[in-house]
Amino acid sequence: MWYSSNIEITDTRLHGIKALRECSHVKMAGCDVVSPEFGWSVEGLVMERCQVQGEYFMMRSAGLDFTEVVLKGKYSFQYIQDSVFDHCNFDTKDAFWHAKNVVVKNSVVKGEYLAWYCENVTFENCRIIGTQPLCYCKNLKLVNCEMIDTDLCFEKSQVEAVISTPVESIKNPLSGHIYVPAVGEIIKDDPASCGEVVVRKQSCCA
């Protein structure tokens, strides 16, 4: 389905390359998608309770509203804008590169090199897993997030982050504040990187 608008796809298997492209105002629910290059340049896609496999998923799309979507792939959500993801589970490398005005909440995001070069992206109550996430970002926010197996985080990023788990290493945040209960290593070898890492150990009450 290419160049379509005001369409609804329910309980359907979409197994084929480029199964949806340059469409607008689409609703999908209960679908099984196995499709490389799915959803390029789509505007206004609401997706609920879907399973997805594929590379370059949703590139250059806008106005995405995803709930309970499970994704396994590579290079997902690159260059997307103005989108919200809730209660999703994403296993994908290089996700959200160059994304702009995006909120991801109550979700698991696994994969290396998460969200490089993004702008105005917020992760809220998320579990983030994988090496070298969230580098070269502008106006990045993390609210009550877990970070697992994450090293060399936040390089050259403008960031405000509250993290609830120990982080392996943080490298040269450009500006802002990163609050963590513990960090294995703080690397600051660039005088232009002035972000502050604040270690706040959790107190134990009897």
Mean pLDDT in consecutive groups of 10 residues from the start of the chain, 206 residues: 95 94 97 97 98 97 98 98 98 97 98 98 98 98 98 98 97 98 96 94 53
Amino acid at residue number 71? L
Beta strands of 94-139 (E only): which ranges? Answer: 100-105, 108-110, 119-124, 127-129
The pLDDT, as a whole number, for residue 83 is 98
Q: What is the DSSP string of 29-93?
A: ES-EEE-TTTTBT-EEEEEES-EEEEESTTTT-BS-EEES-EEEEESTTTT-EEEEEES-EEEEE
Give the pTM: 0.94
What count of other Cβ atoms lies within 10 Å of the Cβ of residue 129?
18
CATH number listed for the domain at residues 32-110: 2.160.20
What is the domain partition of the chain in residue ranges? 32-110, 112-200
Gap between the Cα atoms of 121 and 119, Å rounded:
6
- CB distance 194 to 176 below 8 Å: no
